[in-house]
Structure 1
Amino acid sequence: MKIIIIGDGKVGSTLASVLSKEDNDITIIDKNANVLNQTNDDLDVICIEGSGLNIKTLHEAKVKESDLVIAVTNQDEINMICCLYAKRMGAKYTIARIRDPEHSEEIKALMEELELNQIINPEYTAADHISRLVLWPTFSDIELFADNKVLLTKYKIDDCSSLIGKSLTDITEFDRANILVAAIERNYETIIPKGDFIFKKDDYIYIIGEVHSINMFLQQRNKRYNKLNDVMIIGGGRISIYLAQILLKNKIKVKIIEQNPDKCIHLNQILPDAMIINGDGTDYDFLLSENMNSTGAFIALMGHDEANIIACLIAKNSGAVKTIAKVTRIKGLNLIKDIGVDSIVSPKLLTANHILRFARNLKVKEDPSINELYMMNENKMQALEFSVEHAYDFLDIPLKDLKIKKNVLIAVIVRNNKIIIPRGDDCIKLNDRIIIITSLLKIINLTEIF
């Protein structure tokens, strides 16, 4: 597919990197020559210096021939106009980044008036993801599938775990709870385990199953599965605003530390139920005076990765139950977790999940069956949810009789709102939804797993 990305910032460059690996022809438009030169050195893409608002520049990018135009500059209004121009000039599909909270209630109207096919909001997406990590604090990562009925979660095997030294076959509690060990991260590699797999300390386990089943499993293992009661958020940007709104609706107390006095006034106006404190989120003594050591979750959302990581490490050592850091650099995410930060959230990667799903569905317009896509372990493995909407040859045949490709796991079948952890005798049927885990990173429809 021919894809044009307008804006070569943090989100744009990440999208270009991910989409260029999917056999797409990528063109990037940006006014900053230095940024474009760096992207040109790193990626096999076409770079055009100019503005997405300039008709001549759009013609140079051959927008008329484009399958998809994605506008991700730093200004919502520019993104909207770029997409409107692109659509009028012949682009088949358009996606705009619109992130101002003031526009959140107008999304449907904006999509209709501007003929947008999708709107992305990295800040809201990140806030929604962080809220799940607060609601399920045991896990270092989490994703929901099948209309929030199925939970894919990740947690670390600690020193006291009864799993250490045992094989997957020896452990019956997963089967009893009707959940599946879908994948293991070990030494930065991701494995789909077989029955003889032996668990080790510091392994990260991905488990998948019905939300209720996973909650019961945690309760039986005496793990903390209830939501936390309070959070401390460092930084008062857009993510913090969205996150506070979500958490307050869930009856979680919110304290936001922000260094800019003017921002504090604004936060007080739009978040009257949150506690807003003017102060330096990197000042250890100040954070202690604000009871950092007894907070449920400490969430660092400042503008610099290093500041977020260091703040979380200090909070963890001071007694914070859960630490979450926002990062913009993708490489080395696992290393950050290894040094003691409980959860890492990358708005760029979360956005790329949504765009990648949309782009893959465009490649099979007659069968756009990918409902969800989730990149695991720095995109070394993916979880995908498909809808079974056609009479495929593999339907109604026991899974044990199908030739499923190596490194593909059919993890869950959703049928009439029932969650099935499939065994060899189970079949895929018409109108099912299927969740697979795979290291094959270019799958666009179900037929490619057989």
Structure 2
Amino acid sequence: MKIIIVGAGEVGSNLSTVLAASGHDVTLIERSEGHCERLEEEQNARIVTGNGGSARQLVEVGVAKCDAFLAMTSDDRTNIISCSLAKGLGAKNTIARIHDETYSDTSILNYQLHFGIDLLVNPEAICAVELAKEIRSAGRVEVEHFARGQIEVQRQRVARGSRLIGKKLKDIKLDPQVRIGYIHRGDQTEIANADSVLQQDDIVTLFGHPEVLFALREKFDPKQKVELSRVVLFGGSETAINLIHLLKNPRFKIRVIEKDQAHCRRLAERFPHITVINGDATSIRLMEEEQIDCADYFVACTKDDEENILTCIQASKLGAKHVQLLINKGDYDDLLGMLQTRLDIEVAVSPRRATADFMLRNLSNESVSRLAEMPDGSQVLEVRISHSSSAIGRTIKDIHLPSGCLLVALLHKFKAKVPAADDTILAGDRVVVIVTGEKEKEVTKALV
């Protein structure tokens, strides 16, 4: 695959390394001549000194023939303009890195659609999804990457007293944003269908919007108590802001410790439901005053890696139940595993590594990816709808899939959702489907 990357900062240069190592033909455009000289020695890629926001420059590097154009500078506007130009000049697939939430807000205008960009990527938002996984609900099946946090997977036990016991799924009125995928009973696991009957102590695997799934817990277990989670964030960074959005349910009591007083004021005005503390979490005294020992989760997410590591060590020693760490610099990437093990850190994420993993999945030539395997041998697959697929233009109800499979998530270009019968399949869509092993070929033939 021919790939052009604009911007050779932490994210862009790492992407170049990872994609080149995967066998892609990479061209890296960077403004700084000095930086380009260093890149020539470090990168197995074509290095071009120039302006990725110049149409002339893009024509010179052959943008019309590239399979993917990635604008990864630290400036949102440069990235959006570069991708818009690249698309207009013939690039097949354009991906822009963004930070400002303005460009992901579609309430007035869909910026992605307006500028003709195939995908907007926010590394901090990707990291926030990783950090939020364990906070929101531990022990889920790992398919959240498919929907960038919009679709979640949870397991629920059907407890004594539930009104769902003895009912067929077709007779249960669940929110349309939810789909029951599996029913696990004793040693047996089955893919759910309309005639499946729920029994006491069944464990069901549900796909859907995170908050809708949480609201359904009482239906499965009437006596289940909602426990408050006390979450402390050190730093009011972009990652922290994205994490606050993901944890907006009232069951999360969030405190943010931020050193900059003006930024504290802005956070407090923007998020009146959280507590903002002006202070430095590297101070043991402040951590003790804020009773970090009572925190369920402590997340260090400033842009200073050394302070993040130090405060995680302190939070762990003071008794925080779970500790999470954000690492910004590439120098620490190889140490993430050791940091987690040695410092008792539950989750450690890196924007550049998370972005690289995300890009590898999205730029993969594979039409089918395996996301998870269940105990009974059935698979959770992500299927990319090719431009030659017979499913294009047809509604879900009109696609004849074999028995023993179930569509549980659909990702259009701009939005992920649990599919409804009247949803239409478009070229380039991705679907998550649960399928038994012997039916995999039939499903692939019907969708790819």
- Shorter-chain TM-score: what band? 0.5 to 0.7
Counting only pairs closer than 5 Å after superposition, residues 363-382 of structure 1 correspond to structure 2 as: 363=365, 369-370=367-368
Identity of aligned pairs, percent?
Answer: 27
Match for residue 348 of structure 1? 352
SS of residue matched to 2:358: helix
Aligned to 2:339: 336
More off after superposition, 326-335 vs 72-81: 326-335
**Aligned counterpart, 1:358:** 362
Contact 2:294/2:319, CA 8 A, preserved across alignment: yes
RMSD of aligned residue pairs (Cα, Å): 4.2
Tell me the matched-pair count.
350
Q: Classify 1:326/1:34 alpha carbon distance in 2 versus 1 (closer, same or farther; 3 Å).
A: farther
The answer to whether the 8 Å contact 1:259/1:279 transfers is yes
How many angstroms does 1:12 deviate by? 1.0
The reply to whether residue 116 of structure 1 matches residue 127 of structure 2 is no
Q: Deviations over 1:25-78 (max 9, x none)?
A: 101111233443443333311111222123343233222322211111111111
Alignment of 1:95-114 (within 5 A): 95-106=95-106, 109-114=110-115
Give yes or no for the alignment of 1:130 onto 2:142: no
Q: Distance in 2 between matches of 1:432 and 1:210?
A: 23
Q: Identify the residue that residue 239 of structure 1 maps to in structure 2.
A: 239
Paired residues of 2:143 and 2:153 also in contact (CA < 8 A): no
Is the aligned partner of 1:176 residue 2:187? yes
Is structure 2 residue 31 aligned with structure 1 residue 14? no
Contact 1:387 1:431 in 2 (8 A): no
Gaps of 5+ in 2: 156-183, 191-203, 208-213, 215-224, 373-379, 391-400, 409-417, 419-431
Does the 8 Å contact 1:415/1:432 carry over to 2?
no
Residue identity in the other structure for 2:125 = Y
Shift of 1:352: 2.4
For 2:39 and 2:125, the matched residues in 1 are separated by 26
Once residues 119 and 91 of structure 2 are traced to their aligned partners in structure 1, the CA distance between those partners, rounded to angstroms, is 14
**Residues 1:87 and 1:227: Cα distance change in structure 2 (over 3 Å):** farther
Residue 325 of structure 2 is aligned to residue 313 of structure 1: no
CA offsets 1:397-418 (integer angstroms, 9 cap, x no match): 9xxxxxxxxxxxxxx975679x
TM-score, length basis structure 1: 0.66
In structure 2, distance between residues paired with 1:175 and 1:144: 29
Q: TM-score, normalised by structure 2?
A: 0.66
Matched with 2:80 is: 80
Letter in 1 for 2:135: V
AA aligned to 1:6 is V
SS at match of 2:106: helix
Aligned to 2:443: 431
Following the alignment from structure 2 to structure 1, what is the Cα–Cα distance between the partners of residues 272 and 235? 17
Q: Distance between the aligned counterparts of 1:306 and 1:250, measured in 2? A: 32
Aligned-partner Cα distance in 2 for 1:175–1:35: 60
Q: 1:45 to 1:175 in 2, by over 3 A?
A: farther
Aligned pair partner of 1:210 in 165, 181, 205: 205
**In 1: Cα distance, 2:299 partner to 2:285 partner:** 17
CA separation of 1:323/1:38 partners in 2, compared to 1, >3 Å: closer, same or farther?
farther
> SS of the residue aligned with 1:92?
coil
Say whether 1:327 aligns with 2:327: yes
Q: Which runs of 5+ in 1 are unaligned?
A: 153-172, 180-208, 216-224, 375-382, 398-411, 434-444
